[in-house]
Chain A
Amino acid sequence: MDMSIQSTQTKPAAKPAASTSPKLAPKVVARDANVYYGEKHAIKNVSIEVADKSVTAFIGPSGCGKSTFLRCLNRMNDTIPGCRVTGSITIDQQDIYDKSLDVVLLRARVGMVFQKPNPFPKSIYENVAYGPRIHGLTRNKSELDAVVEASLKRAGLWEEVNSRLHESGTALSGGQQQRLCIARAIAVSPEIILMDEPCSALDPIATAKIEELIDELTQNFCIIIVTHSMQQAARVSKRTAFFHLGVLVEEGDTNQIFTNPTDPKTQAYITGRFG
């Protein structure tokens, strides 16, 4: 039980950010993943490997399927009627669409931050404490307090809210709400954090703060971010995947994608010719 608290505090010192090596087994592996919404074929034969402790950005024009693919990774698409996934998606070599896998457990391991900040209409404290509480991660109030504090600190929100933890989370500004949502996701100590356009509803200053935060979180988490902003992808991610019409067109080091893309479609998109 103590581990979950300590891990969030001691890990950053233990592992420097730059240590991500391609030799490590990839965290998330998709092989020929296909997603159908009823008749519509939304994702076509996507195969990709996502490394641990790094940021991977999914870019592409609207409706290209990048959010759909992201939502497959914690099976959030299960809630959509008529949605079907084929192929294999594994996390740590475990098939997440296997019948024996518990989806609630999966979502505890794979946290998610949504496009629009969506704090619960409860106090700031309750927002962060909710996850640890339903999973029984803490034994008593003081442990829970510690988890809440650690999570808010990791999300860079502690200084701003520590005097008003029991005010409503919905009273915060948009950027603060989004960081609260990140704190809420961190609080259950996930391994992977999915971010679905986390900054699209925020102003540039709040966006900068979130990007800084993503930079720090990468030391402990595998982060996958969907973004519309190519500058953002260039700024925060180590690797970038470009999706177009449900197909993964190209995936590689962010530098390479933005400076020397191999596919002409990627070239056209990043230079602003469509999308």
Chain B
Amino acid sequence: MTVEAISTGSAGPVANSRSLVEQSLKRRYAAEARFKAYGIGAILIGLAFLVIVFASIIQRGYTSFVQSEFHLDIFLDKEVIDPSGTSDGNDLLIADYPALIQDALVTALKLDPKSRTDVRLAGTLLSANADTAVRNFVLANRDQIGKTVPFWVLASGNVDSVLKGAFDRSIPEERRKLNDKQLGWIDSAYANGLLAKRFNTGLFTFGASSQPESAGIGVALIGSLFMMLTVVLLAVPIGVAAALYLEEFAPKNRITDIIEVNINNLAAVPSIVFGILGLAVFINFMGLPRSASLVGGLVLALMTLPTIIIATRAAIAAVPPSIREAALGVGASKMQSITHHVLPLAVPGILTGTIIGLAKALGETAPLLMIGMVAFVVEYPRTPLDPATALPVQIYMWATAAERGFVERTSGATLILLAFLACMNILAVILRRRFERRW
């Protein structure tokens, strides 16, 4: 059989086979090139959407990480704060701090304290919740009463808009929220350092507020943390135990088949259904409090269970049978072969599945709406039974508000949530890499 024989195609049953192959090759290569182009196109479209989403969130949200504050030397007047001289807690709580701050601002802006219009206009530059910081300081440092102390106090949302360039000065004065006089004060205060944009720690520490400048995700963070703890403590042990039993011990029969199908179905049940279940069972039947992060955690744990069970079963099934045989062969009991060999080898898969399940739970909103976690909660929850909100729910609530401060906070909180999710996913990858064994 020579090369010539092949090239003429005379050897086989098909004549001209070589030229026929050449023709079809062209078609085959063209199909391959087209397929590659589709793939690249799909990836580019996906990336483009991702970039657009991130760009718009960041562009709208980055300003929420700074906040306008006045730097004021406030005279903690004993007559106002503690008229009885007894340092009585109640007196200190109800004292007229806003007046003290307003006085300090009027002095700093070099206004005439007798002009009631100017004093009133200056007062509107301050946040309605500017006094919280001062009151807390006085309650913690009673020996400072009667002295002058420098403070950073919150400016109002309108002032914040001006500093962030979101205030339209071309609108006629009578329809603006700030008049020319106030704008003049703001400009000069900003120029001489009396007013500045500072890192917004309040975004992370404050609870709910009707004023955007004093609203934060503090309560939501604690609520989400409590819920994640509940999910980890409940769903992980139950899920891993269920998966181990189903994979290693359960007989393969109709009942286990039905259980398996149902677990897979549960993973696909819409999350709002779990919310309705939580409302009916945990709140109405078991009488747990509404808006509590414990209930939220229970609901999310139920929702996460199928994910963890499926991931764990896959991880256990992926452990080579030869390892089990080796352990049984030297006389390990079934339980020993599992706890000593199978489970350690399945850990990376279990961890990955768990973290992905947790990330899903962290971003879940719908079931929490059903159990009343859409609440206006100002105080930090101290236990999982106290009312709380969650990060995604906080975003949802801010998204319904119209003020510019809330709009930027919506995007800011979204960025924080995305950062948490990214951290969890990176952690999952790192853990998988670290614990992965090859054999």
Residues of A within 8 A of B (CB): 74, 76, 79, 81, 104-105, 107-108, 111-114, 116, 118-121, 130-131, 134-135, 170, 181, 184-185, 187-188
Contacts and interface: CB of A to CB of B under 8 A. Distances in A.
A116 B322 contact: yes
Contacts of B324: 79
Given A118-B322, A121-B437, A170-B438, A185 B333 contact: no
Nearest to B438: A170
B172 interface: no
Contact of A185 (B323, B329, B332, B437): B329
Contacts of A188: 330-331
Contact of B328 (A107, A116, A187): A107
B439 A114 contact: no
Interface in B272-287: none
B330 A131 contact: yes
B177 to A, nearest CB: 68
A108 B331 contact: yes
Given A81-B252, A170-B438, A107 B330 contact: yes
B262 interface: no
B341 A120 contact: yes
Contacts of A121: 323, 345, 437-439
Nearest to B345: A121
B329 A114 contact: yes
Interface in B359-416: none
Interface of B: 251-252, 320, 322-333, 336, 340-341, 345, 437-439
Contacts of B251: 81
A87 to B, nearest CB: 23
A112 B331 CA distance: 10
Contacts of A81: 251-252
Most buried by A among B252, B325, B330: B330
B322 A135 contact: no
Given A81-B252, A131-B330, 13 more contacts: A104-B333, A107-B328, A112-B329, A113-B329, A118-B323, A119-B326, A121-B323, A121-B439, A130-B340, A134-B331, A170-B439, A187-B330, A188-B330
A186 to B, nearest CB: 10
B331 A120 contact: no
A263 B320 CA distance: 40
A135 B323 CA distance: 18
> Which 10 residue pairs of A and B lie closest in terms of their CB atoms, listed nearest first?
A108-B331, A118-B322, A131-B330, A112-B329, A107-B331, A121-B437, A118-B326, A170-B439, A104-B333, A121-B439
Given A104-B333, A170-B439, A120 B323 contact: yes
B344 to A, nearest CB: 9
Nearest to B324: A79
A130 B330 contact: yes
A105 B252 CA distance: 27
24 contacts: A79-B324, A79-B325, A79-B328, A81-B252, A104-B332, A104-B333, A107-B328, A107-B329, A111-B329, A112-B325, A112-B329, A114-B325, A114-B326, A118-B322, A118-B323, A119-B326, A120-B327, A130-B332, A130-B340, A135-B331, A170-B437, A181-B326, A185-B330, A187-B330
B253 to A, nearest CB: 10
A225 to B, nearest CB: 15
Most buried by A among B325, B329, B341: B329
A112 B324 CA distance: 13
Nearest to A106: B331
Nearest to A105: B331
B322 A74 contact: no
A107 B330 CA distance: 6
B323 A131 contact: no
A120 B329 CA distance: 12
B325 A76 contact: yes
A112 B320 CA distance: 17
B438 A74 contact: no
A131 B331 contact: yes
Contacts of B345: 121
Contacts of B325: 76, 79, 112, 114, 118
B438 A184 contact: no
B326 A134 contact: no
A184 B329 CA distance: 10
Contacts of B341: 120
A134 B331 CA distance: 8
B244 to A, nearest CB: 16
Nearest to A82: B252
Contacts of A76: 325, 328-329
A170 B320 CA distance: 14
Contacts of A130: 327, 330, 332, 340
Nearest to A115: B322
B105 to A, nearest CB: 69
Contacts of A119: 326, 439
A188 B327 CA distance: 12
Most buried by A among B252, B322, B324, B345: B322
A119 B252 CA distance: 29
A76 B327 CA distance: 11
Contacts of A112: 325, 329
A135 B105 CA distance: 80
A114 B331 contact: no
Contacts of B340: 130, 134
A130 B323 CA distance: 13
Contacts of B329: 74, 76, 107, 111-114, 185
A177 to B, nearest CB: 10
A104 B345 CA distance: 22
A134 B332 contact: yes
A114 B330 CA distance: 12
B260 to A, nearest CB: 15
A255 to B, nearest CB: 31
A102 to B, nearest CB: 9
A185 to B, nearest CB: 7
A21 B330 CA distance: 29
